[in-house]
């Protein structure tokens, strides 16, 4: 470390003042090694000096924010830069450098270069997390919509079922013939053929021909009954 006065022997207050001057010189493009700023970083990262860390945050927060805002993925999600800046410093702080590891940064530029890599890492991780969250939200939304659609369809079917139950009860009262009603109900509500009707209830018929005969005789009467009930159009919808 090239310095006329070893920064490791200076107070934090003096380091902060000199670091500020070093930063101003850097902005003025005055070539100078910023050993005082480097020492503040060392105390913050290696010694876990919270006061030194506060100085690091105040000194470099705006620079980190510029890096964040210029990252190509920053505008891929709606988030305040301050949140990402804090995550960057948190990641840097949690690195837990040993004295030997930190000495691997030969100057402040390399420390800041590592800090900048934290920006890219944080934004990439944050973007992936946000994407997974959005994917989950989208999936939940699709599932919820499907659930609502199924519930609506179920209730619609149940309403229709109740409506037809009322229709058949009404028709049974008008036909006054249980066997004839059963043939019509089985034919149209259950979509059964005469053979099926006979197989289900053979005790009601002498043979399958009787089923055909009852159906043939009842259908003409059925039209008249349905007109009296005002339900002819409903029955035609069912027959389709």
What pLDDT score does 133 carry? 58
CA distance 120 to 52: 24
What pLDDT score does 229 carry? 66
Is the CB of residue 42 less than 8 Å from the CB of residue 115? no
Q: What are the domain boundaries of the chain?
A: 7-132, 176-239
Non-local (6+) Cβ contacts of 95 within 8 A are 45
What pLDDT score does 114 carry? 93
- Cα-to-chain-centroid distance, residue 155: 28
Query: For residue 97, which phi and psi values (nearest 5 degrees)?
Result: -70, 140
Query: For residue 73, which phi and psi values (nearest 5 degrees)?
Result: -100, 0
What pLDDT score does 204 carry? 85
Q: Which residue has the higher pLDDT, 211 or 39?
A: 39
Q: What is the pTM of this model?
A: 0.51
Does residue 135 come out as left (phi exceeding 0), alpha (psi in the -120 to 50 range) or beta?
A: alpha
SS3 state of residue 11: coil
Quick check: 107 pLDDT over 50?
yes
CA distance 232 to 223: 7
Quick check: 233 pLDDT over 70?
no
What pLDDT score does 157 carry? 46
Is the CB of residue 182 less than 8 Å from the CB of residue 204? yes
How buried is 229 (Cβ within 10 angstroms: 0-12 exposed, 13-18 middle, 19+ buried)? middle
Q: Which residue has the higher pLDDT, 226 or 5?
A: 5
- Cα-to-chain-centroid distance, residue 194: 54
Is the CB of residue 56 less than 8 Å from the CB of residue 40? yes
């Amino acid at each position: 470390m090239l310095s006329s006065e070893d920064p490791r022997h200076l107070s934090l207050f003096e380091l902060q003042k000199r670091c500020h001057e070093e930063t101003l010189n850097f902005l003025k493009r005055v070539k100078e090694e910023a050993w005082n700023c480097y020492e503040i970083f060392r105390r913050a990262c290696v010694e876990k000096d919270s006061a030194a860390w506060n100085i690091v945050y105040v000194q470099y927060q705006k620079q980190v924010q510029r890096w964040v805002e210029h990252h190509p993925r920053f505008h891929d999600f709606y988030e305040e830069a301050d949140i990402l800046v804090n995550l960057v410093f948190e990641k840097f702080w949690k690195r837990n450098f040993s004295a030997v590891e930190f000495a691997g940064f030969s100057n402040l530029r390399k420390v800041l270069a590592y800090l900048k890599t934290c920006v890219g890492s944080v934004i990439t991780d944050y973007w992936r997390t946000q994407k997974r969250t959005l994917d989950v939200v989208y999936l939940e939304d699709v599932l919820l919509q499907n659930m609502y659609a199924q519930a609506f369809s179920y209730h619609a079917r149940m309403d229709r079922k109740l409506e037809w139950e009322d229709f058949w009860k009404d028709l049974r009262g008008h036909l006054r013939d249980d066997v004839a009603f059963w043939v019509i109900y089985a034919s149209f509500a259950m979509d059964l053929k005469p053979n099926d009707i006979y197989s289900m209830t053979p005790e009601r018929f002498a043979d399958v021909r009787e089923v055909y005969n009852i159906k043939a005789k009842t259908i003409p009467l059925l039209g008249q009954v349905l007109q009296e009930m005002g339900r002819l159009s409903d029955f035609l919808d069912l027959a389709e």
